[in-house]
Structure 1
Amino acid sequence: MKFARYLEENAVDEWRKAYLNYAGLKKLIKRVKQHYDARKTGRVPVSESSSHPAARLLRGGTSYLARGQRTVPKYGALGDPEEQDPLPSVTLDGTGLEAEVLLAEPVRTDSKMVDTGLDATISRHFDEQERLFFYALDHEVDRMVEFYDARELEAVERLSTLVSQLIELAEHRRAYKTQTKRIDGGHLKNIWSKVPRRLDTEELHRLRLSAQGRELQPSSREPTSSDEDVGHQRREHALEQVHHLNLVDVDETPKEPRHYDPVHYKTARRKLRSAVVENYRGLEILNNYAILNRTGLNKILKKFDKTFQVHLWDRYYEERIQQRSLVVSTTVPQMLHALEDIFANYFEHGDKKRARDILRLGVTHALLPHETGHHRSTFVTGLYIGIALCLVIEAFDHVMHKSTRALIPMWPQLLITYAVFFLPTLFAVLFGLNLIAWQHVRINAVFIFEFDATTAIDPSQYFELPSLCLWLLALCFYQSFTAMPDDERYVSATTWPLLWLCAVVLLLCNPLPIMHRSGRAWFLRSCARVLTGGLIGSIEFRDFFLGDEMNSIAYSVSNLWLVQCEYRSAWQSTCNPSATYWTPVLSSLPAFLRLMQCIRRHYDCKGTTHVHLVNAAKYASTICHAFAYFAFRTTGSQSSVRFVWWILLATINACFTSSWDILMDWNLLHREARYPFLRMHLSFDDIWPMYYVAMVTNVLIRFVWVIYLFGSPSTLPLRAFIAAVLEVFRRWLWNFIRLENEHIGNADTYKIQPRAYTDQSTAVP
């Protein structure tokens, strides 16, 4: 495999601009070779200019050193252009090395220095334009070294923070072991301990401990020698090894005694375990960064030697690279070894092999997200979806028959009920296509959504659960409209939707370690965070992303009242969504939750920016639109004032939301972009017309409310469902570019790790 391709496939996308510009340097070698051959042979094309271009050496937009701080080697005299013969000029256009730099005044070497030193050797063999390659290479080395040093310093600071927290965790564990004990008495007593006996804080603490198989001691006891077990000694030894590295700076000044709540120990331990995995992943990525760039420098120098039949590789590497931190620093490998010891002794009972396997599994997910091989999952997904399509087609064929409608008089309400359940299921299946596309263009969804890197699943595996839910829904839909009442095993048509709902709840909440339990737990926790509206904790990307997704299934949320009303009234066709305020309240609930999230984000940023308040106003307009539409439907007249207010608010909301989608969420419409009205960096560059299609489609579907202006009242449920499906399709397209924009933002700041774990809620002063 060519190294340029190898570098492309193994580089971390968020750091892509910081890697060696190997392809650009290869192009530069070819241009220098053309100039060199023309100079040696004296064959100069007449059309070529003899002017010497400015030295454009730096990668555009990625300069790390101030010009006053930059040290530029003097590769001999630049010479006088007027005294030289016309030669093909060496340009840097299209190499990615085009930014300008101010070069120091040239130093002319005398005859005694011609044969000594790297600079003199280069000056003797190459003219000014040919030396452009070495200026560019010098800059690349400086740029990579500075980037590496900055990331290494960040890694040391992270490790220092982590060690401090691990010291506190050891104290917390001591309190946990001292104040609690294992529940004895067998399996029955263990089950009985989980039964609540009263409602107060103390009982809640007891129940949370019982879930961990522990109970409070009758009275606190002081630690004894039995508490200083082998595990404690291992943990102390692991921390001592870190201190011996003389890298971390841990504040060892005496602190006020803290009271650690034993109930929160497991939570603190789980968070710190994830923090160690993330730190190890970041260090391994940094280590691979150094290895890839060292390899690239060696290869580009050898290629230069081979092209020009010279022997400069070893001398250049020794004088310009060998003593730089990118080569000689052992800090990162030492920290990797220290984290392996910490993880083994703190979380894996001293099993170093298992610890390394777990830590490196997380690194594999980060560095090789493009490698897949879950063919069984793909087959099962295709089987589920294929059978589901057949069942739905057959069921709709029965629904069209008058005999079926006569046997099932509540068929219109039943169709709406299935539509309510179908929409989020369809959305979940489509989201799998988002995951596949993001993986294909190396968008790090695992990091952005804060999945656990050690248990993150592949998109092929993700499809299993949504496709299973779709198959179950199609099966229930088929049974509702094909089963005959005279059958001895007949189940009422209205029972099947409830059976499906119960099955989905059981699948999602199943505590057994099957069907990707970690992924299901992440989804349930994330949904719970969204439902709090930012009242409990700070808002993360996954919170407002899921909140936006929920806004696109407002149809299902708003019709929950109708579904429960039909079951409560025994499907007597007495439920009218236009007659209850529950309809607009539920319809605007997702927008209200997002509004609360925006207010919380404004509060967290201390009012330094008002963009979150503007975003909150956008969701306020969505809420006003929902209530205005409800007010119009209660009258049903297009000549009323309520109709005018609805049209006005719907137009404002559509313009507001579509503008925000394109300008803020997608960050498009840049004038200086390579493709008009897009942006400079595009992950889906191969299919760039898709961005224009997405923009037009997004605006058109934002105005889908016009569908309610036409048609008879009898077709209103169908029009509402069509509008809801179009909104799901719009959000599906929105997802592609929204996460791409977030990924580019992370790449601009070289962000590959979440912020360090600083939650001290486990310790109570």
Structure 2
Amino acid sequence: MKFGRELASQMVPEWQGAYMDYNNLKKLLKEILRFRQQNSLSDPMARTGSMRRRLTLSRAFSGLTNRYNNLKGGSPHKNEDEVILVGSVQQEGSENYQTMFLKLSDAGGEYELEFFKALDDEFNKVLKFYKEKVQEVKGEAEELSKQMDVLIALRIKVDKPGVVHKFASELNSRSSSGYSGPATVVASVNGVKPGQGMDAIQEVEMSSGGISGDEQIRTESQNKNASRFRPAQLDVLGQVMINVDPETPVSTLRNVIMSSKSDPSFSEEELRKVEEKLRQAFVEFYQQLRLLKSYCFLNMLAFSKIMKKYDKITSRNASKSYLEMVDKSYLGSSEEVNKLIERLEAAFIKHFTNGNHRKGMKSLKPKHKKERHRTTFFLGVFTGCSIALVAGIIVSIHAREILNHPGRGQYMDTIFPLYSLFGYIFLHMLMYGANTYFWKRFSVNYPFIFGFKPGTELGFREIFLVASGLSVLALAATLANLDMEMDQRTARFQMLTELVPLGLVAVVLLITFCPFNIIYLSSRFFLIRCAWHCMLAPLYKVTMPDFFLADQLTSQIQAIRCIQFYICYYIWGDFTARSTTFVQSKTFEIFYICVAIVPFWSRVLQCLRRLFEEKNISHGFNSLKYFSTVAALILRTIYDLRRGSFWRILAASSSGFTTIYNTYWDIVIDWGLMQRNSKNPWLRDKLLVSNKAVYFIAIVVNILLRLVWMQLVLDIQEAPFLHRKAMVALVACLEILRRGIWNFFRFDDAYINILQSLIQCCFDLRINVKLSYDRGRLENEHLNNVGKYRAFKHVPLPFHYTDDKIM
């Protein structure tokens, strides 16, 4: 594999703008190579013109070259064999490296000068980013160290309350004798001062039985290490507040009335929750350090590769001088990240795995998802079975002339809605699987965006496997129902015939709520939890998975109405006689309207909560968008049930306004397109998909699919070859397709704008980015981390200091 592809595959997606632009530098080297190849075939007049151009460029860059006499590390004396001089200069309070090219008078020198200028820009960019990230992790290490101070004191308080009185007199005596310091238990080890990150932490080892029973050995050990170690200051517990309660509707209501942070209760349950939070914080911080170490290594390797390419093309020996500068710079010489990793590993193994090195490293290292061949195998099996079942249903329909059967209308009104539910779910899963495939192909880190537990996210193969398995169940039940309905030998089993769809629902629900670790337990429960949060909005904090699922449910209105039909058909109606008289009831009509607006109303409440928490007016406009959709949906449903010119006018006008509002929001706000002044006219400055036609096609398709509601007000509800229920199902499927398209471009835009805002924040580049309510800063804490060039989750720490002086 070429290094450019290897670099692209290994770089952190959220940091890709901060890596060395290897491809651009390769293009500059290709221009040098092309010039050298052409120059060898050019005539004397061309060489004269080239010399004139080089002299002009030499005069233009004279100010730049003269400045190198004052470079720190650069030498005014040079040998004839030297190609470059590299040194550092102070610019705007920061140290930048600049390269002086000494062979400007040679043929093609202006191309090489341009290469070194771009190379310096890339190196300074990488160096600045790396310095900022190192300073950031050092600050976070200090904060984790303070959190460990309190945890150790809390362990002593909870597990060994008698120790508190033994240490109190010693603490007082040391304070009076001048032994003072910050409220920390971080000891000085290997020459590192306390408070400088994850040092070895000296504490009373609660896991090994606390203080030794041998008083003499304990006293000698304390006297020997008195200059090195300090015991945990237990009084720090009086200076912190704690927040370890999970967010629930009850806690949300309580937080509205009072603070979410409470005084420690010093209970074992509280200690367990604190340890779990800090354990997770250590793991995430460790992943951050690993990413930063990988970032440094890949960029060092990239500079080495590009300079060797330069030497090969130009037959010069400039890589040695430049790579020496890289090695001596902060990027190549800093060991702070490695030291932090070592100290963090030592602290984690000691305090969270009871000294078990193997267990500790297993917990710290990321868990990678394993690709299984059986997934592909069963996907092929289920897909083949689904195709065979579809063929069987088609043959059965035509062979028995079911379309011309007198009971066709009754069958479509009763049985078809029962089975169409699974068709909607299957199609939505199919679109989501396609979304994950394209997200992965275009390097959109969707597992991190959604907050999936590492190694548990479903790839497109797993999603297609579940979808194909569901299709096999649904199609087999449909074929069995047709056979039992049409076969005279089973005609007497009317009860069994009608219970087939209900049995299918029972199987699907049993699999969904199965507590055993089968069929992707983590993903199933993740989906259930998000659905529960949507149902109880706005009592839960709005996170990315919650609002995303609520948006998906807004495209599953007919599926929700099918669930209502299931309940009424098997409880209210007489399913043995296929009686659907309940649909004429006023109560059914009311619920028919109410269940359809539940997903939109959930989004309204989510937007209002975000408006209350973030004070961003964009969320208010977004809530109005969903509220207008609720009104349009109610009026369309009333017209479908009541008919009449009055209801038609109201339905058409409200739906027209909502369509314009939603279309604008989709294309301009969610997708970030239709920007006249962008580099790509009417699109965005940055595009994940290189083919611009794809975006224009998506815009047109989105507008057309937004207008499918017009078939209702135009009374196009039943085609000559389609039943009314089939037409409704077709329209619902088109909406699901539109949602699948929206999903990809929604995250395409969000991801691009995240990266743009990051570059603008970290490198002060003037990028004209229009950040909307969800773009560049999506609503959960994970995407807020991405918005700060963070490719890892932020874990809320359990302890909050009440005294600012301690911080």
Normalising to structure 1: TM-score of the pair?
Answer: 0.76
CA distance in 2 between counterparts of 1:6 and 1:729 reads 35
Q: Is the 8 A contact 2:14 2:791 kept in 1?
A: no
The alpha carbon displacement at 1:672 in A equals: 4.1
Alignment of 1:526-605 (within 5 A): 526-537=530-541, 539-568=542-571, 569-571=573-575, 572-576=579-583, 579=586, 580-605=589-614
Per-residue CA shift, 1:559-618, capped at 9, x if unaligned? 43322111121232112278421111111110000111111111111x2x3111111110
Matches within 5 A, 1:649-688: 649-685=654-690, 687-688=691-692
Contact 1:404 1:481 in 2 (8 A): no
Determine the structure 1 residue equivalent to 2:526. Answer: 522
Tell me which residue corresponds to 2:625.
618
Match status 1:26 vs 2:26: yes
* Cross-structure match for 1:478: 479
1:248 to 197, 202, 208: 197
* Distance of 1:663 and 1:374 partners within structure 2: 41
Task: Report the equivalent of 1:297.
Answer: 303
Q: How many Å apart are 1:473 and its aligned residue?
A: 1.9
Quickly say closer, same or farther: Cα 1:712–1:20, change in 2 above 3 A: closer
How far apart are residue 317 of structure 1 and its match?
2.4
1:631-675: CA deviation from partner (whole Å, max 9, x where unpaired): 3234212x2x22111100000111111111111111112234454
Q: 1:321 to 1:417 in 2, by over 3 A?
A: same
Residue 284 (structure 2) aligns with: 278
**Deviation of residue 405 (structure 1)?**
6.8
Of 104, 119, 126, which aligns to 2:104? 126
SS of residue matched to 1:311: coil
- 1:121-160 to structure 2, matched below 5 A, reads 124-127=102-105, 129=110, 130-160=112-142
Q: Distance in 2 between matches of 1:459 and 1:654?
A: 31
Which of the pair has the greater relative contact order for Cα pairs under 8 Å at 6+ separation?
A: 2
Maintained 8 Å contact 1:163/1:239 = no
Write the mapping of 1:41-56 to structure 2, written as runs, cut at 5 A: 43=44, 45=46
In structure 1, the residue matched to 2:708 is 704
Distance 1:645 1:634 in 2: 14
Instruction: Tell me if the contact between 2:85 and 2:100 (Cα under 8 Å) persists in the aligned partners.
Output: yes
State the number of aligned residues. 659
* Match 2:729 to one of 721, 726, 734: 721
Q: Percent identity?
A: 23
Assess, with a 3 A threshold, how the Cα gap between structure 1 residues 762 and 247 changes in structure 2: closer, same or farther: closer
CA distance in 2, matches of 1:683, 1:517: 33
Instruction: Check whether the contact 1:258–1:763 (CA below 8 A) recurs between aligned residues.
Output: no
Give the 5 Å matches for 1:67-146. Answer: 79-80=58-59, 106=67, 113-115=77-79, 119=85, 124-127=102-105, 129=110, 130-146=112-128
Q: 1:730: which partner in 2? A: 738
SS in 1 for 2:685: coil
Whole-angstrom distance in 1 between the partners of 2:725 and 2:539: 35
State the shift of 1:421 in Å.
Answer: 3.4
* Superposition RMSD in Å: 4.1
The aligned counterpart of 1:331 is 336
CA distance in 2, matches of 1:149, 1:577: 70
Structure 2 matches for 1:221-620, cutoff 5 A?
A: 222=161, 246-248=195-197, 254-256=236-238, 258-260=264-266, 262-263=268-269, 269-318=275-324, 320-345=325-350, 347-362=352-367, 364=368, 373-395=371-393, 398=396, 401=402, 412-483=413-484, 484=487, 486-487=489-490, 492-537=496-541, 539-568=542-571, 569-571=573-575, 572-576=579-583, 579=586, 580-605=589-614, 607=615, 609-620=616-627
**Structure-1 separation of matches of 2:684 and 2:733:** 29
Decide whether the 8 Å contact of 2:413 with 2:725 is kept in 1: no
8 Å contact 2:147–2:799 — kept in the other structure? no
Please state how far the C-alpha of 1:283 moved relative to its aligned partner. 1.8
Q: State the Cα distance separating 1:454 from its structure 2 match.
A: 3.8
Give the drift of 1:409.
Answer: 5.5
Change (3 A) 1:240 1:657: farther
Inter-partner Cα distance in structure 2 for 1:394 and 1:37: 66
What is the TM-score with the length of structure 2 in the denominator?
0.72
Q: Name the CA distance, whole Å, in 2 between partners of 1:562 and 1:711.
A: 23
Gaps of 5+ in 2: 87-98, 165-183, 200-231, 239-262, 759-787, 803-807
Distance in 2 between residues matched to 1:632 and 1:377, nearest whole Å: 47
SS in 2 for 1:258: coil
Going from structure 1 to structure 2, the CA distance change for 1:223 and 1:553 (only over 3 Å counts) comes to farther
Instruction: Specify the code of the residue in structure 1 equivalent to 2:386.
Output: A
Distance apart, 1:446 and its partner CA? 0.9
Cα drift, residue 165 of structure 1? 4.2
Q: Residue 752 and residue 378 in structure 1: after superposition, are their counterparts in 2 closer, same or farther (change >3 A)? A: farther
Residues of 1 paired with 2:353 and 2:470: CA distance?
Answer: 36
SS at match of 1:119: strand
Secondary structure of 1:259 counterpart: coil
Q: How many Å separate the matches in 2 of 1:465 and 1:314?
A: 55
Deviation at residue 347 of structure 1 after TM alignment: 5.0
Change in Cα spacing, 1:452 to 1:623, as seen in structure 2 (3 Å) is same
Paired residue for 2:752, among 739, 744, 748?
A: 744
Q: Secondary structure at the match of 1:254?
A: helix
Q: How does 1:158-173 map to 2 (within 5 A)?
A: 158-166=140-148, 168=150
Q: 1:339 to 1:460 in 2, by over 3 A?
A: farther
Q: Distance in 1 between matches of 2:187 and 2:570?
A: 61
For 1:693 and 1:656, locate their aligned partners in 2 and report how far apart those are by CA, in whole Å. Answer: 20
Comparing 242-251 with 308-317, greater Cα deviation is found at 242-251
Alignment check: 8 A CA contact 1:578 1:633 kept: no
- Residue 550 of structure 1, CA deviation: 0.8
Q: Quote how far apart the aligned CAs of 1:679 are.
A: 1.5
Task: Report deviation, 1:285.
Answer: 1.6
Partner amino acid for 1:589? V
Alignment partner of 1:5 is 2:5 = yes
Deviates more, 1:127-136 or 1:246-255: 246-255
1:455–1:119 distance in 2 versus 1, CA, 3 Å: same
Alignment gaps of 5+ in structure 1: 55-76, 84-101, 179-220, 226-235, 366-371
Structure 2 contact 286–341 (Cα < 8 Å) conserved: yes
Instruction: Determine the structure 1 residue equivalent to 2:171.
Output: none
Q: Partners of 1:415 and 1:284 in 2: how far apart?
A: 54
Q: Is the aligned partner of 1:753 residue 2:791?
A: yes
Q: Aligned equivalents of 1:165 and 1:701: distance in 2? A: 53
Quote the residue 2:245 is aligned against.
Answer: none
